[in-house]
């Protein structure tokens, strides 16, 4: 039995298969998942598990060099945006944040290795994590 990190076998498998610049998304329960992208559905009930709970677990088990957020989160969900900024405040040099339209973020999920669906019900609680390299 696995002792540390993500216990969910699907998330663990996807993270293990990711290489430098590959992406994975964590989204609220309303984020559409393209047919060609793997869906890892964690949603149990409205609000559970929450977006930040899942994001903390996933980002803690991978090297993140870039995040992509919807521009709309700035106005429509400043609380989650603040929590995201706090989570990544100590990111290493070279870390970047990109804001795109919500429509563009949804398009970018087509290239993600997977989209993890949470039970989150607040607007624009969606993020794409780009994998960094764990060696130099």
User: What residues are designated binding site?
Assistant: 28, 102, 124-126
Cβ burial, residue 15 (10 Å; 0-12/13-18/19+): buried
> Cα separation of 102 and 125, whole Å?
10
Q: Active-site residue 4, yes or no? A: no
> Cα separation of 16 and 124, whole Å?
27
Annotated binding-site ranges for substrate = 28, 102, 124-126
Longest dimension (CA), the chain: 43
The vertex-123 CA angle with 120 and 124, nearest 5°, equals 95
Say whether the peptide bond before residue 63 is cis (omega within 30 degrees of 0). Answer: no
Which entry of 9, 16, 17, 20 is annotated as an active-site residue? 20
Q: Which residues belong to the active site?
A: 20
């Amino acid at each position: 039995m696995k002792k540390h990190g993500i216990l969910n076998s699907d998330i663990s498998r996807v993270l293990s298969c990711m290489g430098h610049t590959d992406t994975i998304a964590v989204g609220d329960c309303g984020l559409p998942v393209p047919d060609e992208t793997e869906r890892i559905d964690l949603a149990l009930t409205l609000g559970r598990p929450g977006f930040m709970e899942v994001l903390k677990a996933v980002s803690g088990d991978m090297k993140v060099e870039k995040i992509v957020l919807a521009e709309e989160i700035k106005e429509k969900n400043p609380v989650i945006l603040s929590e995201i900024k706090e989570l990544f405040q100590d990111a290493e040099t070279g870390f970047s944040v990109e804001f795109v339209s919500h429509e563009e973020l949804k398009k970018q999920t087509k290239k993600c290795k997977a989209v993890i669906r949470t039970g989150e019900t607040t607007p624009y609680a969606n993020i794409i994590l780009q994998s960094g390299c764990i060696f130099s």
